[in-house]
Amino acid sequence: MKHYKRVLTIAGSDPSGGAGIQADLKTFSACGCFGASAIVAVVDENTVGVTGVHAVPVSFVTGQIKSVLDDIGADAIKIGMLFSSELIRAVKATLAGYPTIGNIVLDPVMVATSGDVLLQEDAIETLISELVPFVRIITPNIPEAEILCGHPINSQQELDACAKELSFGRKVSVLLKAGHLKDAELTDVLYNAETDEILSFRSQRIATNNTHGTGCTLSSAIAAFLAHGNSLNVSVRKATTYIHDAIAAGSAYQIGHGNGPVHHFFQFWG
Protein backbone atom coordinates (compact mmCIF):
# COMPACT_ATOMS: atom_id res chain seq x y z
CA MET A 1 0.00 0.00 0.00
CA LYS A 2 1.12 3.54 -0.75
CA HIS A 3 1.35 6.16 1.99
CA TYR A 4 0.42 9.82 1.90
CA LYS A 5 2.68 12.58 3.14
CA ARG A 6 0.60 13.89 6.04
CA VAL A 7 0.40 17.45 7.37
CA LEU A 8 -1.69 18.67 10.30
CA THR A 9 -2.74 22.29 10.61
CA ILE A 10 -3.67 23.77 13.99
CA ALA A 11 -5.38 27.09 13.30
CA GLY A 12 -8.61 29.05 13.03
CA SER A 13 -11.16 28.80 10.24
CA ASP A 14 -11.97 31.35 7.52
CA PRO A 15 -15.47 31.00 6.06
CA SER A 16 -14.45 33.02 2.99
CA GLY A 17 -11.95 30.29 2.13
CA GLY A 18 -8.83 32.38 1.58
CA ALA A 19 -6.96 32.09 4.88
CA GLY A 20 -6.73 29.93 8.00
CA ILE A 21 -7.64 26.25 7.96
CA GLN A 22 -9.21 26.50 4.53
CA ALA A 23 -6.09 27.98 2.94
CA ASP A 24 -3.89 25.48 4.76
CA LEU A 25 -5.80 22.46 3.47
CA LYS A 26 -5.84 23.83 -0.08
CA THR A 27 -2.09 24.38 0.09
CA PHE A 28 -1.36 20.90 1.43
CA SER A 29 -3.39 19.39 -1.40
CA ALA A 30 -1.76 21.58 -4.05
CA CYS A 31 1.68 20.59 -2.75
CA GLY A 32 0.95 16.87 -2.80
CA CYS A 33 0.09 16.14 0.83
CA PHE A 34 -2.86 14.76 2.77
CA GLY A 35 -4.14 17.51 5.05
CA ALA A 36 -5.75 17.16 8.48
CA SER A 37 -6.87 19.92 10.83
CA ALA A 38 -7.49 20.90 14.43
CA ILE A 39 -9.66 24.00 14.58
CA VAL A 40 -8.89 26.40 17.44
CA ALA A 41 -11.51 29.03 16.62
CA VAL A 42 -14.37 29.71 14.26
CA VAL A 43 -13.65 33.13 12.79
CA ASP A 44 -16.38 35.32 11.29
CA GLU A 45 -14.53 37.05 8.45
CA ASN A 46 -14.42 37.74 4.75
CA THR A 47 -12.14 39.62 2.35
CA VAL A 48 -13.07 42.93 4.01
CA GLY A 49 -12.35 42.14 7.65
CA VAL A 50 -12.93 40.13 10.81
CA THR A 51 -16.29 40.48 12.56
CA GLY A 52 -15.76 38.04 15.41
CA VAL A 53 -13.83 35.09 16.81
CA HIS A 54 -15.57 32.20 18.57
CA ALA A 55 -13.04 30.14 20.50
CA VAL A 56 -13.18 26.35 20.56
CA PRO A 57 -12.67 25.05 24.13
CA VAL A 58 -8.99 24.30 24.73
CA SER A 59 -9.64 20.70 25.77
CA PHE A 60 -11.51 20.16 22.51
CA VAL A 61 -8.60 21.58 20.51
CA THR A 62 -6.12 19.22 22.16
CA GLY A 63 -8.59 16.39 21.64
CA GLN A 64 -8.62 17.06 17.90
CA ILE A 65 -4.81 17.08 17.80
CA LYS A 66 -4.58 13.77 19.65
CA SER A 67 -7.27 12.17 17.51
CA VAL A 68 -5.36 13.00 14.33
CA LEU A 69 -1.88 12.14 15.58
CA ASP A 70 -2.87 8.93 17.38
CA ASP A 71 -4.57 7.58 14.27
CA ILE A 72 -3.23 9.20 11.09
CA GLY A 73 0.03 10.69 12.37
CA ALA A 74 1.87 13.56 10.68
CA ASP A 75 5.08 14.16 8.76
CA ALA A 76 4.82 17.89 9.50
CA ILE A 77 2.65 20.28 11.48
CA LYS A 78 1.71 23.87 10.72
CA ILE A 79 0.55 26.09 13.59
CA GLY A 80 -1.40 29.26 12.84
CA MET A 81 -3.59 31.49 14.98
CA LEU A 82 -3.36 30.69 18.70
CA PHE A 83 -5.16 33.55 20.38
CA SER A 84 -4.55 32.94 24.11
CA SER A 85 -1.82 31.94 26.53
CA GLU A 86 -3.87 28.97 27.73
CA LEU A 87 -4.22 27.65 24.20
CA ILE A 88 -0.53 28.17 23.37
CA ARG A 89 0.58 26.22 26.44
CA ALA A 90 -1.94 23.44 25.79
CA VAL A 91 -0.91 22.99 22.16
CA LYS A 92 2.76 22.88 23.10
CA ALA A 93 2.15 20.36 25.89
CA THR A 94 0.11 18.15 23.57
CA LEU A 95 2.67 18.20 20.76
CA ALA A 96 5.45 17.44 23.26
CA GLY A 97 3.85 14.02 23.58
CA TYR A 98 4.82 13.29 19.96
CA PRO A 99 8.58 13.99 19.97
CA THR A 100 9.26 12.20 16.67
CA ILE A 101 7.43 14.94 14.75
CA GLY A 102 10.22 17.46 14.26
CA ASN A 103 8.84 19.41 11.31
CA ILE A 104 6.75 22.04 13.10
CA VAL A 105 6.19 25.35 11.31
CA LEU A 106 4.81 28.29 13.30
CA ASP A 107 3.16 31.21 11.55
CA PRO A 108 2.96 33.69 14.46
CA VAL A 109 -0.39 35.15 13.40
CA MET A 110 -1.14 38.36 15.27
CA VAL A 111 -2.91 40.62 12.78
CA ALA A 112 -5.08 39.77 9.76
CA THR A 113 -4.40 41.25 6.31
CA SER A 114 -7.34 43.58 7.00
CA GLY A 115 -5.58 44.91 10.12
CA ASP A 116 -7.77 43.12 12.65
CA VAL A 117 -5.94 41.87 15.77
CA LEU A 118 -6.09 38.08 16.20
CA LEU A 119 -3.86 37.51 19.26
CA GLN A 120 -4.56 38.58 22.82
CA GLU A 121 -1.88 40.94 24.12
CA ASP A 122 -0.95 38.80 27.12
CA ALA A 123 -0.41 35.82 24.81
CA ILE A 124 2.50 37.42 22.95
CA GLU A 125 5.02 36.77 25.72
CA THR A 126 3.82 33.19 26.06
CA LEU A 127 4.24 32.69 22.33
CA ILE A 128 7.79 34.07 22.45
CA SER A 129 8.99 32.31 25.57
CA GLU A 130 7.29 28.93 25.25
CA LEU A 131 6.22 28.08 21.70
CA VAL A 132 8.78 29.78 19.45
CA PRO A 133 11.78 27.84 20.87
CA PHE A 134 9.79 24.58 20.53
CA VAL A 135 9.25 24.66 16.74
CA ARG A 136 11.62 24.19 13.79
CA ILE A 137 10.88 27.43 11.93
CA ILE A 138 8.78 30.57 12.35
CA THR A 139 7.52 32.72 9.46
CA PRO A 140 6.79 36.26 10.69
CA ASN A 141 6.03 39.21 8.46
CA ILE A 142 7.57 42.56 9.38
CA PRO A 143 4.77 43.81 11.71
CA GLU A 144 4.86 40.47 13.55
CA ALA A 145 8.65 40.54 13.70
CA GLU A 146 8.54 44.05 15.17
CA ILE A 147 6.28 42.78 17.96
CA LEU A 148 8.45 39.72 18.57
CA CYS A 149 11.75 41.61 18.73
CA GLY A 150 10.39 44.80 20.29
CA HIS A 151 11.71 47.40 17.85
CA PRO A 152 10.83 48.80 14.40
CA ILE A 153 12.19 47.41 11.13
CA ASN A 154 12.52 50.08 8.49
CA SER A 155 14.62 48.71 5.64
CA GLN A 156 15.73 45.63 3.75
CA GLN A 157 19.24 46.07 5.14
CA GLU A 158 17.97 45.29 8.66
CA LEU A 159 16.37 41.95 7.85
CA ASP A 160 19.44 39.71 8.15
CA ALA A 161 20.18 40.89 11.68
CA CYS A 162 16.50 40.81 12.67
CA ALA A 163 16.04 37.25 11.43
CA LYS A 164 19.05 36.14 13.44
CA GLU A 165 17.79 38.05 16.50
CA LEU A 166 14.42 36.28 16.29
CA SER A 167 16.19 32.93 16.40
CA PHE A 168 16.66 33.50 20.15
CA GLY A 169 20.16 32.01 20.27
CA ARG A 170 19.83 29.51 17.41
CA LYS A 171 16.80 27.85 18.99
CA VAL A 172 14.62 28.22 15.88
CA SER A 173 15.05 29.06 12.20
CA VAL A 174 13.36 32.21 10.92
CA LEU A 175 11.88 33.16 7.57
CA LEU A 176 11.39 36.93 7.74
CA LYS A 177 9.04 38.07 4.98
CA ALA A 178 9.67 41.41 3.28
CA GLY A 179 6.23 42.04 1.80
CA HIS A 180 5.46 45.03 4.03
CA LEU A 181 8.46 46.97 2.72
CA LYS A 182 7.82 49.29 -0.23
CA ASP A 183 10.61 48.00 -2.49
CA ALA A 184 9.69 46.82 -6.01
CA GLU A 185 11.86 43.74 -5.49
CA LEU A 186 11.06 41.69 -2.41
CA THR A 187 13.81 39.79 -0.62
CA ASP A 188 12.64 37.39 2.07
CA VAL A 189 15.40 36.34 4.46
CA LEU A 190 15.87 32.87 5.94
CA TYR A 191 18.11 32.40 8.93
CA ASN A 192 18.74 28.67 9.14
CA ALA A 193 19.60 28.08 12.79
CA GLU A 194 20.59 24.48 12.05
CA THR A 195 23.42 25.51 9.72
CA ASP A 196 23.96 29.08 11.01
CA GLU A 197 23.53 30.57 7.54
CA ILE A 198 21.43 33.31 5.98
CA LEU A 199 19.78 32.86 2.60
CA SER A 200 17.86 35.38 0.50
CA PHE A 201 14.84 34.66 -1.71
CA ARG A 202 14.11 37.40 -4.23
CA SER A 203 10.91 38.03 -6.18
CA GLN A 204 9.22 40.90 -7.96
CA ARG A 205 6.31 42.62 -6.21
CA ILE A 206 2.99 41.85 -7.87
CA ALA A 207 0.50 44.72 -8.17
CA THR A 208 -2.60 43.15 -6.59
CA ASN A 209 -4.90 43.45 -3.59
CA ASN A 210 -5.43 39.69 -3.58
CA THR A 211 -3.12 38.91 -0.68
CA HIS A 212 -5.62 37.48 1.83
CA GLY A 213 -4.11 34.37 3.40
CA THR A 214 -0.61 34.70 1.95
CA GLY A 215 1.04 34.07 5.32
CA CYS A 216 -1.09 30.99 5.99
CA THR A 217 -0.37 29.67 2.52
CA LEU A 218 3.39 30.20 2.67
CA SER A 219 3.84 28.54 6.06
CA SER A 220 1.63 25.63 4.97
CA ALA A 221 3.69 25.18 1.81
CA ILE A 222 6.88 25.02 3.89
CA ALA A 223 5.30 22.34 6.08
CA ALA A 224 4.19 20.39 3.02
CA PHE A 225 7.64 20.43 1.42
CA LEU A 226 9.25 19.43 4.73
CA ALA A 227 6.78 16.53 4.90
CA HIS A 228 8.10 15.38 1.53
CA GLY A 229 11.57 15.08 3.08
CA ASN A 230 13.16 18.22 1.66
CA SER A 231 15.77 20.14 3.64
CA LEU A 232 14.75 23.36 5.34
CA ASN A 233 16.50 25.50 2.71
CA VAL A 234 14.89 23.63 -0.19
CA SER A 235 11.46 23.66 1.47
CA VAL A 236 11.57 27.42 1.94
CA ARG A 237 12.79 27.97 -1.63
CA LYS A 238 10.00 25.80 -3.06
CA ALA A 239 7.41 27.45 -0.80
CA THR A 240 8.42 31.01 -1.72
CA THR A 241 8.20 30.08 -5.40
CA TYR A 242 4.78 28.53 -4.85
CA ILE A 243 3.33 31.56 -3.04
CA HIS A 244 4.73 33.98 -5.64
CA ASP A 245 3.11 31.99 -8.44
CA ALA A 246 -0.15 31.65 -6.48
CA ILE A 247 -0.29 35.42 -5.94
CA ALA A 248 0.47 36.06 -9.61
CA ALA A 249 -2.28 33.70 -10.76
CA GLY A 250 -4.75 35.04 -8.21
CA SER A 251 -4.16 38.63 -9.30
CA ALA A 252 -6.20 37.96 -12.45
CA TYR A 253 -9.37 37.21 -10.47
CA GLN A 254 -11.98 39.39 -8.75
CA ILE A 255 -13.60 37.85 -5.69
CA GLY A 256 -15.07 39.71 -2.73
CA HIS A 257 -14.89 43.43 -1.99
CA GLY A 258 -11.60 43.60 -0.10
CA ASN A 259 -8.35 41.64 -0.15
CA GLY A 260 -9.04 38.59 -2.30
CA PRO A 261 -7.28 35.24 -1.99
CA VAL A 262 -4.36 33.76 -3.90
CA HIS A 263 -4.94 30.99 -6.45
CA HIS A 264 -3.89 27.86 -4.59
CA PHE A 265 -4.48 25.50 -7.53
CA PHE A 266 -2.87 27.52 -10.33
CA GLN A 267 -0.91 24.41 -11.36
CA PHE A 268 -4.11 22.50 -12.10
CA TRP A 269 -6.59 25.04 -13.48
CA GLY A 270 -6.45 28.70 -14.41
Give Cβ neighbours of residue 159 (< 8 Å, ≥ 6 apart): 153, 176, 178, 187, 189
Active-site residue flag, 215: yes
d(CA 22, CA 37): 9
CA 27, 29, 31, 33 dihedral sign is: positive
94 is catalytic: no
Element spanning 248, H or E? helix 232-250
What are residue 10's DSSP bridge partners?
38, 79
177 is catalytic: yes
DSSP for 24-58, written as a single string? HHHHHHHTT-EEEEEEEEEEEE-SS-EEEEEEPPH
**Residue 211 annotated among the catalytic residues of the structure:** yes
Catalytic residue among 62, 94, 214, 217: 214
How far apart (Å, rounded) are the C-alpha atoms in residues 257 and 24? 22
Q: Is 2 a catalytic residue?
A: no
Cα→Cα distances 130→14, 60, 89, 156, Å = 26, 21, 7, 28
Q: What is the DSSP secondary-structure string of 88-150?
A: HHHHHHHHTT-TT---EEE----B-TTS-B-S-TTHHHHIIIIIGGGSSEE---HHHHHHHHT
- Specify whether 164 is catalytic: no
Out of 211, 217, 250, 260, pick the active-site residue: 211
Catalytic one of 5, 26, 164, 177: 177
Containing 21, the helix (H) or strand (E) segment is: helix 20-30
On whether the CB atoms of residues 61 and 38 are closer than 8 A, the answer is: yes
Q: Point out the catalytic residue in the list 17, 80, 215, 250.
A: 215
Residue in 35, 213, 250, 260 annotated catalytic? 213
- Residues recognised as catalytic: 177, 211, 213-216
